[in-house]
Chains A and B, each alone.
Chain A
Amino acid sequence: MNSTVATLTARSLLGRRRTLVLLLLPLALLALCTLARVLAGLDPDIERDLEGPLAPDLLGAFGIAVLMPLLSLIAGTGSIGPEIDEGSIVYLLAKPLNRHSIVVTKLLVAIGVTVAFGVLPIAVAGVVLTGEVGTVTLAYAAGALVAGVAYCAVFLLLAVVSRNAVVIGLIYALVWESLVGAVVPGAQSLSIQQWSLSVVQRALGDSARRSGIEAAVGFGVGTLLLAVVTVTATTLAGRRLQTLRLNQSE
């Protein structure tokens, strides 16, 4: 972890436009949760739904399935992609710095951004929905956290390896995990979504069954795969950085 690299990364990541796009996502979530709360105050049916399917819908299907991948995509690719694209990565590479430490630092910055714009808002949303910092809030926050970490690592690797990292990442997170995952049962076990869901399921304990949350993999397998994918992606990214070819001006 190198603080200079971290500062440079953070400053280029949190440019005005990118920050605006990043803000859009948690604001949408919080708006929805507030609306749900307000409606719940007006209608006992919805009040009941808050205990039931609403939290999984909002925090799970919207929060972990849509928000976290998009945020991690923007943060993960944004923490190294533009520098490689523009060639300014040379200022980090032409230094006596360990390539792995560069990658890890950037990953930590990306995770930090994802936590600030994703995990924390999801926790807040959980509080808004349930009215307390309870099991639901913590479960989904934990799920969001592990999802964010894994996604950031994978997307950072993608950004080092390919210039079309964002589109590839989108196709993975949206088409593979949602569409294909819904149709092809096997695909679900290779999905960061499902692994995070297993964490949520475990954290919710018994109420998971009540809310109908069923992850495709067990808790042990899920966390193991999350860890393996995160570490592998980070290591590969570091190794790729050692032999990165700088491109000439276009």
Chain B
Amino acid sequence: MSAVEIDQVSRWFGNVVAVNDITMRLDAGVTGLLGPNGAGKSTLIHLMAGFLAPSAGTVTLDGEPVYRDPEIYRRVGLVPEREEMYDAVNGWSFVLANARLHKLRDPESAARRAIATVEMADSQHRDIRGYSKGMKQRIKMATAIVHDPAVLLLDEPFNGMDPRQRLHLMELLDRLGAEGRTIVFSSHILEEVEQIAGRIEVMVAGRHAASGDFREIRRLMTQRPHQYTIQSSDDRALASALIAQPSVSGVELTSGTDGSIVAVQATDFAAFVHALPRVAAREGIRLLEVRPADESLESVFAYLVAR
């Protein structure tokens, strides 16, 4: 198991601070690097991959700095964001060349394995020039895993993939992460991150805005009231009973897709969750549906970005 340690790292380009005092530790499992475009995710991945020197702080892999050390690439695989590869060769030759450049003892079987893993065995003898975007992504993936790395860095890996390919890649990353590898991938598409990342690191405008499980992050956002939508047998009575509760800051009688609902804003999540069933029981109101309205990664993210 290899750990990437990022310790108070900043990186600036002239006046633009791309990465601002970030500290994180990435070890086994899948970590999603989440943030809007321009947040500094690519810069951070390049810093981790040893292609940029930190302007401040250190980036280390198992204790050794990664910058200007080509040997780290024996343990690190990188899937770059850019689409362009060596167009003039075919997929098989390219992956094989990568295997050879890694100085593997048996490049042919490593290349065969990698290509089979990304399901490109059928098209491997066609020129890369003729590949679709999704095929190029898969070949990129193959070149990154051909040397069985302990750390895998992926910069926007799901770009251009159709749903089936995306699912396949997610399964692959999940499996690799379960094997104890350190997988870091960046994305600005929340659904992707939500589904496979055990941990997320949110970056906004170069700063490390939040980390951990996204539901936990939501719990921590105490300044923002939690939203719930409730369908019940008597909305108005429920609403008036709830507003009397100290954990509730607002109720609204409105209609949703399935009929009328009570929209509740709760300032104290824990207290509200206990109070709701008690209130309903006391008033004799039947609760048909209770749904947290903003506990998705999207709302967490929107909140963090808007801060």
Interface residues of chain A, those whose CB is within 8 Å of chain B, are: 2, 4-5, 7-8, 11-12, 15, 86-88, 90-99, 242-246, 248-249
Tell whether A87 pairs with B68 under 8 Å between CB atoms, given A8-B89, A12-B88, A245-B51.
Answer: no
**Contact of B74 with A12 in the complex, beta carbons under 8 Å:** no
**Contact of A246 with B80 in the complex, beta carbons under 8 Å:** yes
Docked pose: A248 CA to B43 CA in angstroms: 10
**Contact of B82 with A96 in the complex, beta carbons under 8 Å:** no
**Contact of B73 with A96 in the complex, beta carbons under 8 Å:** yes
Tell whether A248 pairs with B86 under 8 Å between CB atoms, given A5-B101, A96-B103.
Answer: no
Complex interface: chain B residues within 8 A of A2 (CB)? 101
**Contact of B97 with A7 in the complex, beta carbons under 8 Å:** yes
| CB-contacts of B41-80 with A (<8 A) | 42, 46, 49, 51-53, 68, 70-74, 76-78, 80
Nearest CB to that of B85 among chain A residues? A88
Complex partner residue of B68 from A242, A246, A248, CB under 8 angstroms: A242
Complex interface: chain A residues within 8 A of B98 (CB)? 91, 95
A85 to chain B, nearest CB (A): 9
Nearest CB to that of B143 among chain A residues? A91
Kindly state whether residue B83 has any CB partner on chain A within 8 Å.
yes
Nearest CB to that of B13 among chain A residues? A245
Nearest CB to that of B76 among chain A residues? A94
Complex interface: chain A residues within 8 A of B101 (CB)? 2, 4-5, 91-92, 95, 97
**Contact of A95 with B46 in the complex, beta carbons under 8 Å:** no
Complex interface: chain A residues within 8 A of B188 (CB)? none
Docked pose: A98 CA to B101 CA in angstroms: 11
Docked pose: A94 CA to B85 CA in angstroms: 13
Complex interface: chain A residues within 8 A of B80 (CB)? 87, 90, 94, 246
Docked pose: A182 CA to B227 CA in angstroms: 81
**Contact of B70 with A91 in the complex, beta carbons under 8 Å:** no
Can you list, as one digit per residue, whether each of B19-51 has a CB less than 8 Å from chain A (1) or not (0)?
A: 000000000000000000000001000100101
Docked pose: A96 CA to B81 CA in angstroms: 20
Docked pose: A98 CA to B100 CA in angstroms: 14
**Contact of B73 with A86 in the complex, beta carbons under 8 Å:** no
Besides A95-B102, A96-B71, A246-B80, 11 more A-B contacts (Cβ < 8 Å) are A4-B100, A7-B97, A12-B87, A90-B82, A91-B85, A93-B51, A93-B70, A94-B49, A97-B101, A99-B70, A246-B82
A243 to chain B, nearest CB (A): 7
**Contact of A243 with B53 in the complex, beta carbons under 8 Å:** yes
Kindly state whether residue B84 has any CB partner on chain A within 8 Å.
yes
Nearest CB to that of A99 among chain B residues? B70
Tell me how many residues of B have a C-beta within 8 Å of chain A.
32
Docked pose: A136 CA to B261 CA in angstroms: 98
**Contact of B88 with A86 in the complex, beta carbons under 8 Å:** no
Complex partner residue of B102 from A11, A96, A98, A99, CB under 8 angstroms: A96
Nearest CB to that of A98 among chain B residues? B70
Complex partner residue of A12 from B72, B86, B143, CB under 8 angstroms: B86
Complex interface: chain A residues within 8 A of B100 (CB)? 4
Tell whether A87 pairs with B82 under 8 Å between CB atoms, given A8-B97, A11-B88, A95-B101.
Answer: yes
B136 to chain A, nearest CB (A): 11
Complex interface: chain B residues within 8 A of A5 (CB)? 101
Docked pose: A192 CA to B49 CA in angstroms: 39
Complex interface: chain A residues within 8 A of B42 (CB)? 248
| CB-contacts of B230-266 with A (<8 A) | none
Which interface residue of A4, A11, A243 has the most chain B CB atoms within 10 A? A4
Nearest CB to that of A2 among chain B residues? B101
Complex interface: chain B residues within 8 A of A249 (CB)? 81-83
* 13 A-B contacts (beta carbon < 8 Å): A11-B89, A88-B84, A90-B82, A91-B86, A91-B143, A92-B101, A93-B51, A95-B73, A96-B73, A242-B68, A244-B51, A248-B82, A249-B82
Docked pose: A90 CA to B83 CA in angstroms: 11
Docked pose: A22 CA to B269 CA in angstroms: 73
Nearest CB to that of B155 among chain A residues? A248
Complex interface: chain B residues within 8 A of A99 (CB)? 70
**Contact of A95 with B82 in the complex, beta carbons under 8 Å:** no
Complex interface: chain B residues within 8 A of A88 (CB)? 82, 84-86
Complex interface: chain B residues within 8 A of A12 (CB)? 86-88
A88 to chain B, nearest CB (A): 5
**Contact of A86 with B70 in the complex, beta carbons under 8 Å:** no
Nearest CB to that of A5 among chain B residues? B101
